[in-house]
Amino acid sequence: MFKMNRFQYLFFGLITLLFIQTSCKDKQKNSIKTQEVTFTKEGELSIFKKENDSLLATLNIEFAENEYETQTGLMYRKGMEDNQGMLFIFPNETMHSFYMKNTEFPIDIIFIKADSTIGSFQENAEPFNENGLSSQVPIQYVLEVNAGLSEKWLLEVGDKIEFSKN
């Protein structure tokens, strides 16, 4: 029969403990689930045609006003309804660039000047693409909506927005 000394018992015990600890850590890692970020209505936004002020669309919006909200934007979300959007508000009018890192669905990015007119827009921004998408002109606001809505609304540079907070 095999007989173990104290050192062998200690060694065997440490190996067993390490195996159990590693197994538990792997189970913890596999059981961690990320919580999906959901839409929270914080205001409303309307888009109007430049020529005749006719209403193109009305949206429920979330605001991105602080640094964390601005950096995160629509990341880690599965999508939005067509009547929803996110409005980024910057302290002053300047050039801005956006990218699609960790954004799981295509969007239209609408760049808006300080006078609330549309300065430019980027249609169908590709999910997870980390290339910068420039505003091309100084802007103070950015509206993100589902891809295809800019085309559906026949959006043009010069069209105007109005928004209110809840």
Amino acid at 116: S
Could you tell me the two tokens for 141? 């606001």
At residue 110 the predicted structure's pLDDT band, cuts being 50, 70 and 90, is very high
DSSP character at residue 117 = B
CA dist 128 to 74, 120, 149, Å?
Answer: 11, 21, 20
Q: What local confidence, expressed as pLDDT, does residue 150 receive?
A: 98
In the chain, pLDDT over 90 holds for what percent of residues?
Answer: 73
Residue 116 C-alpha from the chain's centroid? 22
Residue 144 β-bridge partners = 86, 109
Q: Going by DSSP bridges, is the β-strand pair 139-146/84-94 parallel, antiparallel, or unpaired?
A: antiparallel
At residue 37 the predicted structure's pLDDT band, cuts being 50, 70 and 90, is confident
Question: Mean pLDDT of all residues in the chain?
Answer: 87
Q: What local confidence, expressed as pLDDT, does residue 147 receive?
A: 98
> Tens digits of per-residue pLDDT, 44-75?
999 999 999 999 999 999 999 899 999 999 99
CA-based nearest residue to 84, from 58, 57, 60: 60
Query: What is the second-level CATH architecture of the domain 43-165?
Result: Sandwich (2.60)
DSSP one-letter string for 12-64? HHHHHHHHHHHHHHHHHHHH--PPPP-----EEEEEE-TTT--EEEEEEEEEE
Q: Please give the Cα distance from 70 to 141 (Å, whole number).
A: 11
What are the residue boundaries of the structural domains of the chain, listed by start? 43-165
Could you tell me the two tokens for 9? 């018992």
CA-based nearest residue to 98, from 145, 133, 131: 133
Which are the contacts of 41, defined by CB distance < 8 A and separation ≥ 6?
Answer: 60, 61, 62, 84, 166
